[in-house]
Amino acid sequence: MLEIPVLRWGKPYESFDQQEVVHFETGEPLAKVHQANAGLVKMDMRKAQRARDLLREIPCSKLLEICKNAADLYMTAELPLGNGKQTPEEFCRIQSASTGMPEWMCAGNMKKISFVLENMESILDSLTRGLPLDILTRGYGKEERGVMMSYQANSPVLGLVLPSNSPGVHTLWMPILPMQVGLVLKPGSSEPWTPYRMTEAFYQAGIPRECISVYPGPHDVGSTVTELCQRVMLFGGQQTIDKYKGNPNVQAHGPGFSKILLGDDVVDRWEDYLDLLVDSIFQNGGRSCINASGVWASRHTEAIADAIAKRIGPAGPTSMTDPEAPLAAFTMTGAAKAMNGQIETGLSEPGVTEVTAKYRDGERLIELERCDYLRPTIVHCANTDATLANTEYMFPMASVVQCDQKEMLRKIGPTLVCTAITEDQQWSQQLLDATHIDRLNIGPIKTNALNWLQPHEGNIVEFLYRARAFQNEAPAAH
C-alpha cells in the first residue's frame, strides 16, 4: 500500500502513528499516512529561519521560473509520493476517492493551481503593487520613482492548517515560496494529496527540500503549527473564524457567505442574469467559499428563486468519473444529515419556503452506505430575519432573499465575495465603502470568477510582510 511519510524540512520521517485514508464509497484503504506528533513540530520549528535563509539565496526571478516549472510538473509529471509514484490521472482518482469531489472537479482544481503558478510573476506584481521583488529579499531598496521602501518578513515560514474537503483552496499558498518564505503544511486528513504533490513538484523544480515541512497528524499538530508559526493561514468553520478574530498572526478562512445583490435599476431584467446566478451557486459542487449562498433583491424574488430551482433542482449524484458529475459527496458520517436537519428547522420559520422540492424526485438528503449527498436546494425568504437568509452549506444551496435595496448593506452581514449588479452610482459608492464586504464585484461577474491579480481574503503580501520606515542616509532638512 502507498505509505506517505512525514516530511521534516524535506526529510522523510516514518512515524509509529499512521492513519489510513480510505475510499469514501468502498472503505478500501488508499494509503497510510504517517502522523507527526506535536513535539516533532516544536523541535523542527527551531530551524524555521533556515527555510527563509535558503530561499533568500535564490533570487526571486529564479523562484518565479521554478514556479513555472513546478506548475508543469504538477500538471503533467509522474511524481514520487511516499513509497510510490503518482501520475496526474492517479492524483485525480485518489483525490476524488478520499474527498468525494468528482474527478473532473479535481482536474479543474489542478488547472487552477497550475494557472496560479504559471502566472506568479503577474500575480506578485499585482499583489505587491509593482514592488521590485529584490526589496523583499534585501529588506529595503528604492522603487523606480526613487522612493525608499522597506519590507520586513513577519515570519520565516507560513504555517498552513489545510482543509480535507476543498482542494481548490490550495491556490492560496502558492505565492509563498517565491516571496522567500518557507512552508509548514498540515494537510487535512482526507486531502494529503495536493500538499504532497505540490511539495514534490516544488522540490523537483529546484526548491531546496529544507524549505518545506509537511506534518500530517492529529488535532494537536495543527494547534502546534498555529501556535509556533508567526504567520498562519487556516481553514475551518465559523467557530474557528471567531476563535482567531483579532489575532494578527492568523488568517482564518471559513464559510464565505458570498452573495449576489440585484440593484433596483436592474432587477426587472433579472432573467438576463439567470446564468450568472446559477453558475455562482452551482459550479464546483457549490463547495467553495466563493460560491454564492444568497441572492438578494427587492422584488421578483419568488420568480428568481423558481427559475434557479428549475435549473438546478433536478441535479443528483452520479458516478465520480462522470465528466459532468454535478455534486460532491459528504464523506464524514452524519455531516449531511445534520445540515439537512438544520435546513428543515430553518424552513419551519414564517416566510421561508423551499422552491427546489417540486423540481427533484425524492428527498434532499440521500444516505448511502458510506457517504451521503445533499441535492441542490433553493430557499425563498420573504424577510431578512429568517435563519436561512444568511447561511452557507457545502453544496449548491442558496437563499433568495427579499430585501429593500436601501436595507441590503445593513442586513447582508460579513460577505467574502459580493457581486452587486447595478449601475446606480450612489449605491456603488456605498458598496465600495462597506467594510464587511471583502471582494467586491460591481457588474455582472460571477462570485466564483476569480481574478488572481486581486487579493483573496486579505492580501497575502501584507500578511507576510510589514511595510516600515528605513533610512540608510540622513533625511533632507525640513
Partner 1 sequence: MTDNNNLDELVKQNQEALDAHTRESVQWHFSPETGSPYWLEKAKTLDFNPLTDVNCFEDLNKFPLFEDDELRGGPVDRWIPKALLGKPTYVFETGGTTGIPKSRVVIDDFRIDYENFSDTLPDESFPKGSNWLMLGPSGPRRLRLAVEHLAQYRGGISFCVDLDPRWVVKLIKKGKIDEVKEYSAHVIDQAMAILGAGHDIKCMFTTPKLLEALAMRLMDEGSSIEEAGIKGIFCGGTEFTQQWYRFAREELLGENVYITPTYGNTLMGLACGRPFDPADDYKITYYAPQPRAVIRVVDFDDHTKVVGYGETGRVKLFTMTKELFIPGFLERDEGEREVPHEKYPWDGVSGVRPYHKIAQSTTVGVY
Round to the nearest angstrom and report the end-to-end CA distance of the chain: 72
Single-letter amino acid, residue 140: Y
Q: Contacts with partner 1 in 184-223 (CB under 8 A)?
A: 220, 223
Q: Least CB distance from residue 36 to partner 1, whole Å?
A: 9
Tell me the window of 12-20, 117-125, 259-267, 445-453 that interacts with partner 1 (CB under 8 A): 12-20
DSSP 473: S
Q: Contact between 227 and partner 1 (CB under 8 A)?
A: yes
Tell me the window of 31-39, 105-113, 256-264, 320-328 that interacts with partner 1 (CB under 8 A): 31-39
Q: Least CB distance from residue 187 to partner 1, whole Å?
A: 18
User: In 10 A of CB 29, how many CB atoms?
Assistant: 12
The one among 37, 213, 399, 448 contacting partner 1 by CB under 8 A? 37
Q: Which is nearer to partner 1, 78 or 242 (CB)?
A: 242
Q: Which residues of 226-351 form beta strands (DSSP E)? A: 231-235, 250-253, 258-262, 292-297
- Alpha-carbon gap, residue 210 to 220, rounded angstroms: 23
Please say whether the beta carbons of 112 and 331 come within 8 A. Answer: no
Q: Contact between 406 and partner 1 (CB under 8 A)?
A: no
Q: Least CB distance from residue 46 to partner 1, whole Å?
A: 7
The one among 1, 11, 17, 410 contacting partner 1 by CB under 8 A? 17
Q: Contact between 245 and partner 1 (CB under 8 A)?
A: no
As a whole number of Å, the CA-based R_g of the chain is: 23
Tell me the window of 40-48, 85-93, 293-301, 385-393 that interacts with partner 1 (CB under 8 A): 40-48
Q: Least CB distance from residue 37 to partner 1, whole Å?
A: 5
Applying CB under 8 A, the site for partner 1 has a residue count of: 15
Q: Is 406 left (phi over 0), alpha (psi -120 to 50) or beta?
A: alpha
Q: Contact between 46 and partner 1 (CB under 8 A)?
A: yes
Q: Which three cell numbers stand for residue 355?
A: 422552491
Q: Least CB distance from residue 365 to partner 1, whole Å?
A: 24
Please say whether the beta carbons of 2 and 11 come within 8 A. Answer: no
- Alpha-carbon gap, residue 95 to 97, rounded angstroms: 5
Where do runs of H (alpha helix) occur along 82-129? 88-99, 103-118, 120-127
Q: Least CB distance from residue 49 to partner 1, whole Å?
A: 14
DSSP 32: E
Q: Least CB distance from residue 240 to partner 1, whole Å?
A: 11
Backbone torsions φ then ψ of 30, nearest 5 degrees:
-100, -35
Q: Which three cell numbers stand for residue 465?
A: 510582510
Q: Which is nearer to partner 1, 15 or 230 (CB)?
A: 15
Q: Contact between 341 and partner 1 (CB under 8 A)?
A: no
The one among 1, 43, 368, 453 contacting partner 1 by CB under 8 A? 43
3-state DSSP call for residue 183?
Answer: strand
Q: Contacts with partner 1 in 57-96 (CB under 8 A)?
A: none
Q: Least CB distance from residue 35 to partner 1, whole Å?
A: 7
The one among 47, 68, 243, 337 contacting partner 1 by CB under 8 A? 243
The alpha carbon torsion through 63, 68, 73, 76 (nearest 10 deg) reads 170
Backbone torsions φ then ψ of 59, nearest 5 degrees:
-60, 145
Q: Contact between 338 and partner 1 (CB under 8 A)?
A: no
The one among 16, 348, 469, 471 contacting partner 1 by CB under 8 A? 16
Judging by DSSP bridges, how do beta strands 140-142 and 250-253 pair with one another?
Answer: unpaired
Please say whether the beta carbons of 6 and 16 come within 8 A. Answer: no
Reported as half-sphere exposure (CB side, CA atoms, 13 A), residue 70 has a value of 29
Q: Contact between 35 and partner 1 (CB under 8 A)?
A: yes
Q: Least CB distance from residue 382 to partner 1, whole Å?
A: 37
Residues that bind partner 1 (CB under 8 A): 15-17, 35, 37-40, 42-43, 46, 220, 223, 227, 243
